[in-house]
Structure formats: C-alpha cells, structure tokens
Structure 1
Amino acid sequence: MRSLSSEDATAAIGLTRGRRYLMGRSTFDYEVSGSRLSMGLVRLLHTVVARSTGRGMGLAMRAVKPLLHSQLSCVHFADGSRLYFELNDVYWNAFFIGQPGMTYEPDIATLLLRLKDIDYTFFDCGANIGYWSVLVTSEMLGRKRAIAVEASRETLAILEQNRDANDHRFEICRRALFEYDGRSLFFSDDGPHSARHIVTSQSSRPSHTEPVMSITIDALARDQQLTDSDRLVVKLDVEGQEVAALKGARQVLKRDTLIIYEDHGQDRNHATTRYVFEALGLPVFALAADGSVTKVEDLATLDRLKVNPKIGYNFATCPPGSGFHRWISGIASQA
C-alpha cells in the first residue's frame, strides 16, 4: 500500500484495511481513512443490525446522522486513487466499513480488468459518486478516458470532489440518460439510494425532486466527438430507465460498443433484457461474481439467475460481429 500522508494520518483519523479479489488474486487493495470515532459508530451499527433482523440500517443511520455531520471518509487505493464518500450513506459505508472483505460489483471489476490493455472510452451512466470513473481512469484498469453521467445535484458535489482528488482525469456531465435529448425531466432523491429515480411526468412528481435535462447515449458520443472507429464501453445503471437509455443508443449500437447493464432481481418480467432480445436483437451475456461470463440463450435463463429480489444483476450486450462480441464470446466459450 502507498503510505498515507501526514494530513491523512492525524490523531483524528482511523484506518480500516480492505481487500478486493479479482481473477484469483488480490488487485484493489485499499485503506479507508476518516474519523475514528464516527467510523467506529458506523461499524458498531452494522454489527448490531446484522445480529438482529439484518434490516433497519437505514433507520439507524438516520437516527445518528446529526452526530456524523455529513462527514466524508476516503478510500485510498494502492495506486494512489482516492474515493470520498459520505459516512452516513448506507449504500457505500456497507461496502467499505460495515462488511470488510465485501467486494463491490466484482463481476464488472473482473470484466474491466480483462479490458485493461484494450483502448476504449468509458461512459459511466448513473455514476453516483464516481466509483467506476475513478477506477477505469486509474493505472489499475489502464487509464481509460471516462465521462461520468449523473442526474443528482446533491451527489454531484461528491462526484466533483472525487474528480478533483484524482487529478481531473475524468469528465462530468450532469444529465439524465433518456431516449430523447434535451427534455426537461425531474430527479427524485427522496429516500435511500435504491429508491432514487427519474420522473418523466410532472403530474407524477414526488414531493422532493430537482429538475434535470436529458441526454441520449448517442448525443453523449457526439458531444465527445467519438468516431465510428472508437471503441466504447457503457456502464448503465440508471435506476429503472435502462430501456429508455438503450432507446437513445441506436447509433452507438451500430459500432464497436459494449454495454454493461443492470436487470433487477425484483423485475420478474426481465424488462431490460427482454428489450435487448426482442427489440434490439442483440446477444446477452450474464456476468457472475466469480468473474465467469455466460451467454444467455433465452429469458427463461434469467428466472434461474435472478434469485434475489433485493439486488440488481449485471449483464452485457454488444452488436453481433463487433470486436467486443468476438472478445466476450471467446470468454464465454471458456466457461
């Protein structure tokens, strides 16, 4: 691990060591710095909740939020990359503090590690605080060019801090991915991370929303002046708007593009994968936590794969005959 600076290692700072595993070896070693007292409180709450019902961490964090004062902790990766997150954010503190050793989306991490030596541009659609934008632009994953697309103004502040902390090595676009470009939409950030979503109709707006303009993946590619010869990897996690986002990627999907998307376990109709199969006519590959890749032959396969209704499952698709199709088909054939 790199040594922490004297600023990081002051008396008020505690450290939590973590390790991520990829392809049978440790790859993303990291340490977490922050207030020792606050991190200890969060860790204690996770332990207590896990030993009781296993539920209610959100309520517990809301109860102690005034004590945390929106404090930031920082994940220090081995190559010097840094990722800041709010200590009271249950979604992120569960991975970095509450459950040491838990790997964040190892299926995507393994796939991107395999792409380390392949040149591509990365669209981090639904970037949140920029986890994948930080890693894809790091030495660990080959220093790719990345654009982080995020709809939430509240999240944008931390996303910008993570960009600044990593030498401005990725760009930020505050837009909502949609099937049409330049539409006025609303982003609802009321409730936990999993409840945030885009609202397309003003009449159906929840009480707490903020306006945001839409952008299509095709328009984003044009804005970045990508050519037909540029490879593109899109990570698509846009809280239920995956189908709308795919509808706005018609031109991009005629090129050498790999789209990694989420199909949630709660959706037993498999709407996103159904659209990829039936409307787009594209092949689908399932990504597993152990790093394996399997070709999905039909929707019935998802009935067997998506066993937990509380989590999202990651899949990949690409145009048949493209370079990415040959590449991922080769991986799947080895399974």
Structure 2
Amino acid sequence: MTAQRHLTFSSPAARVQYALLMGLFRCAVTRGLYGRFARGLGKVFDPENAVILHEAGAAPYRILLNDGYWTRFALYLAPYEPEVDSVLRAASGATPLFCDLGANMGYWTTRAAPLFERVIAVEASARTFEGLRGNAGTLSNVTLHRAAIHAGSGQVLTFVNTHLSHASARLMGDLPANAQDQTETVTTLAIDDLVPPGTAAVIKLDVEGAEIAAISGAARAIAEGSVLIYEDHGNDRACMVSAHLLAQPGLSVYSSENGLIAMPDVATIRALKRDPFKGYNFVAAHAESPLLAQLIQSFAKSAKPR
C-alpha cells in the first residue's frame, strides 16, 4: 500500500514537532541517535502529539511523535516492509483469515482489514495494546486480544517493556529486565487456539525471541496449510528460527523481497541478512499447502512482463 499516502496531525504543535523531527532525522547518523532525538522532543512537547498516516483503503494509523520506531517510517512516507505487503496482497481472496501476532500498534492489522474477511490481532504489552485498540478497535472484522503468543494457552508469564523502544518488548525468558525497563504479567495464547480447524490462514509472527515456542503452538494450523510470515533478525547469524523451520519435515521457507524465492538452507538465508539492525521477513509453509501454491502462482503472475 504505497499509493495515495498522506499525513495529518493531531494539532498545530504536532506539525511543528514533526517539522523539527524531519530536520533532526537528516542529522542523525544512527537509529539510536534518532531515537534519542525523538524521545527528547517528546519531553518538550505534549506526549500525545501524533501524526496520522492515511493510505488508500486502510484505516488511519496514529503514531505518537515521541516514538522513535514508527516515526522513522512516517517521515518521508517510505514504504514499510513492502515484502509483507506483497504477501498479503497475493493472499487476499485466497483465505478469509489473517492473524497479526505481535501486532504492535496495528499497522498490519489496519492494512489487512480491507483485504481479508477476518483479522485477528494479538499484542502482549498493555500500553502498546491500547495503541492497537485506538488504531483498529472500531474495525468490524478485526478481533483484538491482549496476550503473548506461545506454545500453549493459559500460562501467565512476565513481559518486559524495554525502555528504549516498544518494538523490542519481549517475554522475560532467560534474559533479565534492565533496571529502566518495566515488567508486567500476561497470559499466553497458542496459534492453534486462534486459527479455526480447517482454515488455512496467513499468520504474521513477530514476537521478539519467542518465535520457536510460538511455532510449536501452531503445529495443527501449519499442518492444515496455514502460511507463516516470520521475522529472522539480522543480528542472529545462526538464523535460529529459520533453522528450526527448515528442520521440520515437509516445511519450505521462502524470501518475498524479490518475488517468492525458495530458501534451501540456512546459508542462503544468512547471506540475505546484511543489516544487523533489521528484522528480515520470510515465508514458511508445508510444501503441499494449497494456500502456498496460490501465493506462488500469484507471485509468478505479477512477475510476468506486461
């Protein structure tokens, strides 16, 4: 969704704050420095100042201007994860269900709502969930859950809201929280308890280190033909999530950055991950999944010269 994009602002002061951010963005040589700029300005201006991203066909997406993660993508109107957009468009009409798991503020929830009959969005952080509710809570075909995606449903786990970026929030696991981080408890949900039996869904999974546990809780959904869009981060040179998926009998992994390209091994995936600060999205499904076959066909058609 890159056409007919424009921004509006929550107030005249928000427009001024945005203009200052644009100038600071040009000076920032690293993502971390820009994040400090955004948080610093957020202490000077009203913390509720926001920019609203409008794209044709999708609900408005509200971004707080003290948010160093999302404002990077609102500035200059650059496309966000176009490889995910291409998969969703290819899947539209081929399945009724899209699951946005680790939905954050609901960017992909709001983009997917016009493309699928039903969208399920799950976010673990209480504060981030409120942003998700604000962006997607009024959409009639969207169901929201505040939960952590994991191997099974009903566990109560500790969730860490990292002080630098909500995009890095995670289940505590073996890595303790930083002194500046905030923790809270959250109940778990398994993917197999979200996807109805017999439905092959498109499932976007971005759960910051809990991917393998989450995939374990999706055994039935994947066996029944669901297609997984998952993140393999650039700083993980072992490609642990991809290696886990490639080790499963019958599963295939694809890159969708330049068409749907089969990834035969971890070395091929590692070679694609050139930026250690970036999360790379890949697609995984059983080789015999009819939904996967439809995606492959759709990508092949779009690649043909016109």
- Name the TM-score, length of structure 2 as normaliser: 0.89
205 and 66 in structure 1: CA distance in 2 versus 1, 3 angstrom threshold:
closer
Quick check: 142-151 or 72-81, which moved more? 72-81
Could you say which residue in structure 2 is the equivalent of 1:39?
A: 18
277 and 171 in structure 1: CA distance in 2 versus 1, 3 angstrom threshold:
same
Could you say which residue in structure 1 is the equivalent of 2:41?
A: 64
Query: For the residues of structure 2 that align with 1:89 and 1:146, how far apart are their CA atoms?
Result: 25
Query: For the residues of structure 1 that align with 2:23 and 2:193, how far apart are their CA atoms?
Result: 46
Could you say which residue in structure 1 is the equivalent of 2:260?
A: 293
Q: 2:111 matched to 1:132?
A: no
Letter of the 1:327 partner, please give it: Q
Query: For the residues of structure 2 that align with 1:302 and 1:119, how far apart are their CA atoms?
Result: 27
Could you say which residue in structure 2 is the equivalent of 1:313?
A: 280
Query: For the residues of structure 2 that align with 1:159 and 1:54, how far apart are their CA atoms?
Result: 24
Contact 1:163-1:169 at 8 Å conserved across structures: no
Contact 1:121-1:144 at 8 Å conserved across structures: yes
Q: CA deviation at 1:205?
A: 4.4
RMSD (Å), alpha carbons: 2.1
Letter of the 1:61 partner, please give it: A
2:204 aligned to which of 235, 238, 253: 235
Q: Which runs of 5+ in 2 are unaligned?
A: none
Could you say which residue in structure 2 is the equivalent of 1:263?
A: 232
Q: 2:88 matched to 1:112?
A: yes
Count of residues in correspondence between the two structures: 294
Q: Give the share of equivalent positions with the same residue, in percent.
A: 28
Q: 2:148 matched to 1:176?
A: yes
Letter of the 1:150 partner, please give it: E
Query: For the residues of structure 2 that align with 1:33 and 1:123, how far apart are their CA atoms?
Result: 28
Q: Secondary structure at 1:56's aligned position in 2?
A: helix
Quick check: 206-215 or 128-137, which moved more? 206-215
Matches within 5 A, 1:69-218: 69-70=46-47, 71-79=49-57, 81-97=59-75, 100-138=76-114, 142-164=115-137, 166-190=138-162, 191-200=164-173, 204-207=176-179, 208-218=182-192
Query: For the residues of structure 2 that align with 1:67 and 1:297, how far apart are their CA atoms?
Result: 51
Query: For the residues of structure 2 that align with 1:332 and 1:114, how far apart are their CA atoms?
Result: 7
Could you say which residue in structure 1 is the equivalent of 2:215?
A: 246
Q: CA deviation at 1:240?
A: 1.3
Quick check: 212-221 or 324-333, which moved more? 324-333
Contact 1:256-1:324 at 8 Å conserved across structures: yes
Query: For the residues of structure 1 that align with 2:53 and 2:94, how far apart are their CA atoms?
Result: 26
Query: For the residues of structure 1 that align with 2:99 and 2:31, how far apart are their CA atoms?
Result: 35
Contact 2:93-2:116 at 8 Å conserved across structures: no
Contact 2:59-2:136 at 8 Å conserved across structures: no
Q: CA deviation at 1:77?
A: 1.9
Contact 2:191-2:214 at 8 Å conserved across structures: yes
Deviation track 1:55-93 (CA, whole Å, cap 9, x = no partner) reads 511222222212232222211222362111111111111
Quick check: 71-80 or 181-190, which moved more? 71-80
Letter of the 2:18 partner, please give it: M
Deviation track 1:237-278 (CA, whole Å, cap 9, x = no partner) reads 111111110011111111120100011111111100110011
Contact 2:124-2:159 at 8 Å conserved across structures: yes
Q: CA deviation at 1:115?
A: 2.0
Contact 2:98-2:116 at 8 Å conserved across structures: no
242 and 39 in structure 1: CA distance in 2 versus 1, 3 angstrom threshold:
same
Q: CA deviation at 1:281?
A: 4.2
Q: CA deviation at 1:180?
A: 2.1
Contact 2:35-2:69 at 8 Å conserved across structures: no
118 and 155 in structure 1: CA distance in 2 versus 1, 3 angstrom threshold:
same
Query: For the residues of structure 1 that align with 2:299 and 2:263, how far apart are their CA atoms?
Result: 10
Q: CA deviation at 1:168?
A: 3.9
Could you say which residue in structure 1 is the equivalent of 2:246?
A: 277
Query: For the residues of structure 2 that align with 1:307 and 1:205, how far apart are their CA atoms?
Result: 28
Q: CA deviation at 1:320?
A: 2.3
Q: Which runs of 5+ in 1 are unaligned?
A: 1-19, 22-27
Query: For the residues of structure 2 that align with 1:127 and 1:294, how far apart are their CA atoms?
Result: 25
Contact 1:137-1:144 at 8 Å conserved across structures: yes
240 and 81 in structure 1: CA distance in 2 versus 1, 3 angstrom threshold:
same
Q: Secondary structure at 2:241's aligned position in 1?
A: helix
